[in-house]
Amino acid sequence: MFLTGRQSEILDIAKLEGRVLVEELAVRFSVTPQTIRKDLNDLCEGRALTRVHGGAIFPSGTENVKYEARRSIAAPEKQAIGRAAAALIPNNTSLFINIGTTTEAVGEALLDHHELMIITNNINVANRLRIFPSIEVVIAGGVVRGSDGGIVGEAAVDFIRQFKVDFAVIGASAIDHDGALLDYDFREVKVAQAIIANARNVILVSDSTKFDRNAPVRIGHLSQVNTFITDRCPIASIHSICAEHDVQLIETERHIASE
């Protein structure tokens, strides 16, 4: 496809940051939002980007967006998801928290809880929570992935299998419309599968951009979780799966609008 200079620059920004927003691009290029929407529609029709609410994302199917860029994608939505998940977790509880920027938001929202035992393979979560005396942090051993501080590999899987906890908070890099939960690194997937198998209640946290992404490795299926928290779920098949398998679906945007 032929790209204008502005469209090429938009595509470069999306590759670097993972996501572009209409309003921010309009200001950056000093054009109207309508002009940017047309640029994004052209890029999406050429399958260079994937359209999402308010903008577009770079839809890599085999390689994840860089970790710092992922932190900025849907950041307010992730914070709301984190608060909603934390509200479901009582004090005096044991739980797993795995790798991901949304699971990190849950960890941040748990700071005012008491008497928690948190087992994690996420160095960022461990480092943030370790200074709070009311929270005991247990960190998995294994290979530390330099890109995001995740601990992966067979040693981490064996470590996780030693526990049986009250709750698990997990994320996914992509959610297929058939309910498949997907990720990029098979080593991380094995840890996530061990977490699911060794928790009494599983909470999946994921913002709505994950419905528009692809990843090659299967973690499991939406039917395996007890609660799914997202900012919004526009996919009818996901609603049907949740209803059929008694998965509690919490949409934070709908919850806020109803208050």
pLDDT at 215: 87
Domain boundaries, the chain: 5-59, 69-258
Q: Which of 64, 3, 13, 84 is nearest to 209 (CA)?
A: 64
Angle at 201 between CA 227 and CA 248, to 5 degrees: 20
Tokens of 73: 């994608």
Give the pLDDT of the chain (259 residues) as one tens digit per residue: 578 889 989 988 887 777 899 999 999 999 999 999 999 998 888 777 888 888 988 766 545 556 666 666 778 899 999 999 999 999 999 999 998 889 999 999 999 999 999 999 999 999 999 999 999 999 999 889 887 888 999 999 999 999 999 999 999 999 999 999 999 888 889 999 999 999 999 999 999 988 988 889 999 999 999 999 999 999 999 999 999 999 999 999 875 555 5
Level-2 CATH architecture, domain 5-59: Orthogonal Bundle (1.10)
Q: What is the DSSP letter of 249?
A: E
Cα distance between the two ends of the chain = 46
Level-2 CATH architecture, domain 69-258: 3-Layer(aba) Sandwich (3.40)
Name the pTM for this structure. 0.77
pLDDT at 62: 46
The answer to whether the CB of 25 falls within 8 A of the CB of 36 is yes
Maximum CA extent, the chain: 58
Angle at 101 between CA 98 and CA 105, to 5 degrees: 90
